[in-house]
């Protein structure tokens, strides 16, 4: 299993890194479009779409391509970020309260449409973040990764109180707090890096500090770390409701695309909403 995970990760990096560091925005937009279309197919499968799951992936790819053709990868409508934020904060909280038994009670068409809309706004936010700059998009990626890594080790070391045992038994409140602390430490480090080195763009943390000060920066970083947990739990809820361990087997050793990007899905559009203030 470990060998598979390493090989898959190396293959993905061979595609991801050149696209991410390309001077043009379109290679990363196209690569992420392919991945998000695969996630759309996975979403359809998890929500009982059957053979129509392929069509859902195709429709999502076409919607992303249309947005790219319209120039929204560089200048997307800000309203998209705020609508996505509203859906994630309110809808995500509502879904978690209902748990795995409540999710199938929502009409299948509504579940399918909701997933495609959230995946589309996440892709649009990824493309827009890349157009802002490499330093910016990396600072958002690393916030999610730092929170996840710190939550894992913090949960292992101190975890006692379960966060959502019916959805993800391994997660604890202590892990969540550790993840928030890890994200704050990363933010402080990145502020120093921005001041010490010349980069192609301002990071998320420098932008937030310039607009909201230290207190505002800390509150927003904690909020984004919490939303990454919500994204993770939301996908776990959908998988539990479907009786699936992974979203698919597209990425050997890792599961599916949704399994790898679930925590990123709410964070990117919410981030762009906040920096648009």
How far apart CA 186 and CA 205 sit, in angstroms, is 9
Q: Read off φ and ψ for residue 76, nearest 5 degrees.
A: -75, 160
In the predicted model, is pLDDT for residue 204 greater than 90? Answer: yes
Strands (E) in the chain, as ranges, are 162-164, 168-172
At 2 the pLDDT is: 59
**Percentage of the chain lying above the pLDDT 90 cut:** 86
**Tokens 């379960």 belong to which residue?**
162
Sign, CA dihedral 153-155-156-159, equals positive
At 109 the pLDDT is: 93
pLDDT average, residue stretch 189-214: 95
What the block records as the tokens of 90 is 């309110």
Contact 88, 1 (CB under 8 A): no
Query: Nearest 5°: CA angle at 243, between 179 and 98?
Result: 60
pLDDT average, residue stretch 214-240: 97
- Classify 35 as helix, strand or coil: helix
> CA dist 33 to 36, 224, 233, 264, Å?
5, 23, 23, 15
Q: pTM of the entire structure?
A: 0.95
pLDDT digits (tens, 9 = 90+) for 140-197: 999 999 999 999 999 999 999 999 999 999 999 999 999 999 999 999 999 999 999 9
- The H helix count followed by the E strand count for the chain is 11, 2
pLDDT average, residue stretch 23-32: 91
Chain CA centroid to CA 46, Å: 18
At 1 the pLDDT is: 59
How far apart CA 262 and CA 271 sit, in angstroms, is 15
pLDDT digits (tens, 9 = 90+) for 33-65: 999 999 999 999 999 998 999 999 999 999 999
- 9 vs 106 pLDDT, higher one: 106
What the block records as the tokens of 115 is 């997933």
How far apart CA 159 and CA 156 sit, in angstroms, is 6
Mention every residue, 6+ apart, whose C-beta is less than 8 A from residue 127: 25, 28, 29, 32, 67, 68, 72, 73, 76
DSSP codes, 214-264 = HHHHHHHHHHHHHHHHHHHHHHHHHHHHHT-SSS-SSBTTTB-HHHHHTTH
| Number of compact structural domains in the chain | 1
pLDDT digits (tens, 9 = 90+) for 55-99: 999 999 999 999 999 988 888 899 999 999 999 999 999 999 999
Q: What is the CA radius of gyration of the chain?
A: 18
What the block records as the tokens of 111 is 């579940």
CB atoms within 10 A of CB 110: 10
Domain that residue 70 falls in: 2-275
How far apart CA 73 and CA 128 sit, in angstroms, is 5
> CA dist 175 to 139, 159, 188, Å?
21, 6, 20
Binning pLDDT at 50, 70 and 90, where does residue 252 land? confident
In the predicted model, is pLDDT for residue 21 greater than 70? Answer: yes
Residue 9 host element (H or E) = helix 2-21
Average pLDDT, the chain: 94
At 144 the pLDDT is: 97
Binning pLDDT at 50, 70 and 90, where does residue 254 land? confident
Residue 189 host element (H or E) = helix 173-196
pLDDT average, residue stretch 130-142: 96
What the block records as the tokens of 191 is 């502020």
At 205 the pLDDT is: 98
In the predicted model, is pLDDT for residue 260 greater than 80? Answer: yes
């Amino acid at each position: 299993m470990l060998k598979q995970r390493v090989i898959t990760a190396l293959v993905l990096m061979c595609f991801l890194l050149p696209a991410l560091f390309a001077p043009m925005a379109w290679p990363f937009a196209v690569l992420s479009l392919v991945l998000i279309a695969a996630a759309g197919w996975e979403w359809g499968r998890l929500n009982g779409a059957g053979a129509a799951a392929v069509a859902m992936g195709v429709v999502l790819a076409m919607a992303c391509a249309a947005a790219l053709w319209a120039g929204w990868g560089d200048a997307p409508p800000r309203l998209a970020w705020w609508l996505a934020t509203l859906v994630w904060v309110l809808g995500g909280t509502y879904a978690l309260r209902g748990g795995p038994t409540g999710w199938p009670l929502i009409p299948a068409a509504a579940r399918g449409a909701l997933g495609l809309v959230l995946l589309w706004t996440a892709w649009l936010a990824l493309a827009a973040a890349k157009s802002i700059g490499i330093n910016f998009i990396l600072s958002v990626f690393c916030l999610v990764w730092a929170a996840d890594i710190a939550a894992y080790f913090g949960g292992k070391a101190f975890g006692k109180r379960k966060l959502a045992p019916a959805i993800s038994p391994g997660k604890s409140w202590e892990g969540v707090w550790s993840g928030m602390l890890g994200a704050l430490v990363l933010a402080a480090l990145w502020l120093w890096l921005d001041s010490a080195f010349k980069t192609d763009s301002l990071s998320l943390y420098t932008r937030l500090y310039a607009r909201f000060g230290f207190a505002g920066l800390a509150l927003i970083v904690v909020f984004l770390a919490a939303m990454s947990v919500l994204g993770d739990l939301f996908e776990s809820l959908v998988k539990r409701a479907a009786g699936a361990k992974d979203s698919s087997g597209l990425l050997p050793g890792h599961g599916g695309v949704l399994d790898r990007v679930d925590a990123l899905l709410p964070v990117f559009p919410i981030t762009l909403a906040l920096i648009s203030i």
